Structure 1
Amino acid sequence: MGRMNEPPRLPEGGFASWSRDRLAMACRGADECGDVWQLEPGVYVAATAGPCEEVLRRAQDFPKAPSPLFPPLKRSSGAPTPEERVHAHAARMRGLRPQTVAARIGEIAPGTARFADQWPLGEDVEVLPVVRHTLAEIGVRYLFSEDAPTLLPYASQLFLAREVLVRPSRWVWPRWIPTPARRFRTRQQVAFTDALRPIVRRRRSSGRLGDDVLGQMLRPSPRHGLLPEEAVLDTLPGITVATFETPSRAAGWILLGLARHPQAAGRVAAEAALLPADPAATTSTHLDRLQYTQALVREVLRLHPPSWLLTRRTTRQTQLAGYTIDAGSTVLVCPYTAHRDAREHSEPDQFQPERWLDGPGSPAKPGVFLSFGTGPHGCEGEALAMAMLTLLTAQTARRCHLSEPPGPGPSHQVTTLEGLATVGLRLRATSRSREQSRFP
């Protein structure tokens, strides 16, 4: 007989049902079981706003599993120490904090305008590859400035290595086994590092460190001094892919939202008409004025959080929402259902960007908005991602009417394995002006 205070279990649940339709089962679990429910013995789902926020904030009780996508490379000189990794993360964050992003809006905006300008009109376009390339150009340039063209091809290969690594497999191999996917990842990681190393050495020897994220990492800290070269190199593959991988999934949902909600798209277009004719002249003041556009982006991410499920493991027996969670348990944090918590959002399944303008909802309220996580492991690139997505949304609506292609079949497939994505999404654009333009 189970403990009296353990979370309820969904009837006819379990991993077999979960694997068939994760979203449907997550919603059913939240509806039938409440705040926290049991998927399997030792596996629990935090389903509503309060418990999700609590798990993400309590990092000591619910730490993030140590499974880096790009683990440190094995070198004769040795890997960076844990302390050096902490210092490298802090240095990287100096280049990603909101005030730093705000100062560089003029570098982000031109890429988003080119994306909209070059959309082929009157054709069905597969969106995600094009938007991913655009955001990769923007993200890599934000990290590495004038050295971005050199590193962009290697960043694309890092993304491909990630895709290969996370593909579904019948077998879950121990981490120490060098599977073909892991060997491919290592080769791409080595290639990226080998391309980045001479850039680091050139900048340091010349004294021209740069004002980008890499430059911030090369500057000595008053407290810790210079970061060792290996600490700089090892921390950058993951954040390089992160600047465009998750934002690309988000952009797919946003562009689909513009297509399905033409009135909202028109309101974004009217707001975007006030942006400078020269995208490079865009400033944080212009970005701040895109209030409805930001609300639309936030509403899309509320309904379709790209990272819809986050995994945590308990280090000790603890309490969550009044239930006892044993040490060693897995807790799945589900922003997808938390964002549909009717106690936090009126008509939670409805697309209402205005809720972020007129209603009591605030992204700062605990548990209300978790698309970028929260707590010690919240997304460090949130400010950059929101800037890229807001400007991409504004520039696209300013230039194009989007629609789903006519036809009996869906415009995309929804996948949930490694994030919530619109795989194969195809959209059609017509111009809001007389200009006709194409992707190169």
Structure 2
Amino acid sequence: MRKPPQPPRSQAGPAAWRRDRLGVAVRAAQQCGDVWQLAPGVYVAATAGPCETVLRRTTYEYETTPGTFLPAKRPDGSVPGPTERAHGHAARMRALRPKAVAARIGDIAPGAAQFAADWPLGQDLSVLPRAQRVLAGIGSRYLFSGDAERLQAAGARLAEAREQIIHSWPLPPWVPTPARRFLARQQAVFDAELRAVIDRRRTTGRLGDDLLGQMLRPSSQYGLLPDAAIIDSLTGLIVATAETPTRAVGWILLTFARHPRVADRVAAEAGALPADPHAVTGAHLDRLRYTQAVVREVLRLYPPNWLLARRATAPAELGGYPVEPDTTVLVCPYTAHRDPAQHPDPLQLRPERWLGESGSLVVPGVFLPFSTGPRACEGTAMALAELTLIAAETARRYHLSEPPGPVPSHRIATFGALTPVGLRLRATPRS
């Protein structure tokens, strides 16, 4: 029997891939086309068509890899099933859709202004730790409002535990490594803290207008969510609210340092924001069109989630090649965003590509920094609002520059996410 055709194999081996993932991905896409083979049973979707196919067919022919966190348990030891998880997703989205985020811009803007206002001047600042603290605070307040401070500390320890898991040596899931034991302890702490908040809100009847409050309200379609389903939903979400946006803030501010004219135009547009960040509304955000275009263009060039793993669960076809069950497909937004068929002059920073003739935002080609399809990032609208406001508030206050001297301002890490590790920038007040 004739063997079905395989995608062309990359000329680089596993060692080259470990040394320079971005370089190998770009060269392989140029040499092999839409789909290429990294290793037996491992394909890479490199351009818009196959990337979107895999992401939109996730839950049909493809599935995501298991998450970091353990499922929350009911008192009887059982865990939420697919139906309850789907209901939990629907409940979360009541607070995460663009209109809901726009209505709560006044809760996001003060954190963005705080990030910009407190920069120490005349010295190099380590950007990512600061961004992570601020974004974790914004996310916790959006999720938990008056209970944010109590749950933010537990969420920070969850994020630390997740980092340890990501960077630990891969072993079978049943091996009780120190990183896994630490994760289990931090999940137990967060679980207990959140259960106490849920119990108090249910008992008093003051459910709140935050995201947790939305999840505590019964739906006409599925009634009341059990506590385990709520906790299962929010364990990962409290980490996600800071994780990817932190990396994106780094890339945006590095872009300001390297492209001062872009930063100047953002600063001019941001001058229309109210001096009091609590007065910022969704209408103000809508008017930051060039700033939003800059954010999208930076995410096109530097998508933090630059490589997304999927596993085929059913026979499928991708780029003209058969995909057998259990094949791993790596979706590569980094190379898809550099496809000249989708984005002319793909290596150039051109925020204007996101603006139509009227100045309104447009989508000129594939845009996958938050994935797409059934497993797209739920917090996309919130993340874009945060990034736009942090960019605007920072640019209108400061000129940014990379530290002088021979030492690089950062190094690029590609394991897990695309990150400007150790990024340091210097701020000079605008006159």
For the criterion TM > 0.5, the same-fold answer is yes
Aligned to 2:320: 322
SS of match in other structure, 1:243: helix
Is contact 2:410–2:421 with CA below 8 Å preserved after alignment?
Answer: yes
Could you tell me whether the CA contact under 8 Å between 1:7 and 1:36 is conserved in 2? yes
Tell me the TM-score normalized by structure 2. Answer: 0.96
Q: Give the letter for the 2:415 counterpart.
A: L
Identity of aligned residues (%): 60
Partner of 2:372: 374
Write the letter of the residue equivalent to 1:155.
G
Task: Give the C-alpha shift of residue 73 in structure 1.
Answer: 4.1
Contact 2:35 2:46 in 1 (8 A): yes
Is residue 2:72 matched to residue 1:68?
A: no
Q: Report the Cα distance in structure 1 between the residues aligned to 2:2 and 2:279, rounded to whole angstroms.
A: 63
Map of 2:302 onto structure 1:
304
Task: State the one-letter code of the partner of 2:230.
Answer: V
| Distance of 1:153 and 1:168 partners within structure 2 | 23
- Equivalent residue for 1:410, pick from 395, 408, 427: 408
Aligned residue runs from structure 1 range 1-400, under 5 A: 3=3, 5-11=5-11, 13-73=12-72, 76-77=75-76, 78-169=78-169, 172-358=170-356, 364=363, 368-400=366-398
Provide the C-alpha distance between the structure 1 equivalents of 2:23 and 2:389, rounded to a whole number of angstroms: 32
Counterpart CA distance in 2 for 1:267 and 1:377 is: 35
Q: Partners in 1 of 2:294 and 2:172 — Cα distance?
A: 42
Q: Say which SS state the counterpart of residue 379 (structure 1) adopts.
A: coil
Query: 1:134 is paired with a residue of what secondary structure?
Result: helix
Amino acid at match of 1:372: F
> In structure 2, the residue corresponding to 1:349 is in which secondary structure?
coil
Tell me by how many angstroms 1:202 deviates. Answer: 1.0
SS in 2 for 1:24: helix
Instruction: Find the aligned partners of 1:64 and 1:417 in 2 and give their Cα distance.
Output: 21
Aligned residue for 1:306, secondary structure, equals: coil
Could you tell me which amino acid in structure 1 is paired with residue 171 of structure 2?
A: W
Q: CA RMSD in A?
A: 1.8
Give secondary structure in 2 for the equivalent of 1:430: strand
Mapped partners of 1:177, 1:361: distance in 2:
53
Q: Within 2, Cα distance between the matches of 1:216 and 1:141?
A: 14
Partners of 1:139 and 1:129 lie apart in 2 by 15
Q: What is the CA distance between 1:105 and its match in structure 2?
A: 0.3
| Pairwise CA distance, 1:168 | 4.5
Deviation string for 1:74-133 (max 9, x for gaps)?
A: 565222233222211211111111111010001100111011110011110111000100
- In structure 2, what residue type is equivalent to 1:131? A
Question: Could you tell me how far 1:427 is from its partner in structure 2?
Answer: 0.2
* Equivalent residue letter for 1:125: L
**CA separation of 1:428/1:204 partners in 2, compared to 1, >3 Å: closer, same or farther?**
same
Report the CA distance between 1:15 and its aligned residue.
2.1
**Structure-2 separation of matches of 1:380 and 1:235:** 11
Equivalent-residue separation in structure 2 for 1:115 and 1:2 (angstroms): 61
Structure 1 residues 318-327 or 36-45, which shifts more? 318-327
When structure 1 is superposed on structure 2, of 41-50 and 62-71 the one drifting more is: 62-71
Secondary structure of the 2:366 match is: coil
Superposition deviation, residue 361 in structure 1: 12
Report the residue type matching 2:416 in the other structure. E
Q: Please tell me whether the aligned partners of residues 126 and 425 of structure 2 are also in contact (alpha carbons under 8 angstroms).
A: yes
Q: Give the drift of 1:72.
A: 1.2
* Deviation, structure 1 residue 196: 1.2
> Could you tell me which amino acid in structure 1 is paired with residue 112 of structure 2?
T
Contact 2:339 2:346 in 1 (8 A): yes
Match of 1:95, SS state, is: helix
Structure 1: distance between partners of 2:403 and 2:2:
52
**Structure 1: distance between partners of 2:2 and 2:31:** 19
* Structure 2 counterpart SS, 1:37: strand
Distance 2:56 2:84 in 1: 24
Unaligned runs of 5+ in 2: none
Task: Give CA-to-partner distance per residue, 1:312-345, whole Å, 9 cap, x none.
Answer: 1111222111111222111000000000000011
TM-score by length of 1: 0.94
Separation (CA, whole Å) in 2 of partners of 1:62 and 1:411? 42
How far apart are residue 66 of structure 1 and its match?
Answer: 4.3
Q: Which moved more, 1:315-324 or 1:68-77?
A: 68-77
Preserved CA contact (<8 Å) 2:34 2:46: yes
Letter of the aligned partner of 1:133 in structure 2? R
Q: Distance in 2 between matches of 1:168 and 1:227?
A: 35
Shift of 1:238: 0.2
Structure 1 residues not aligned, in runs of 5+: 434-440
CA distance in 2, matches of 1:54, 1:74: 34
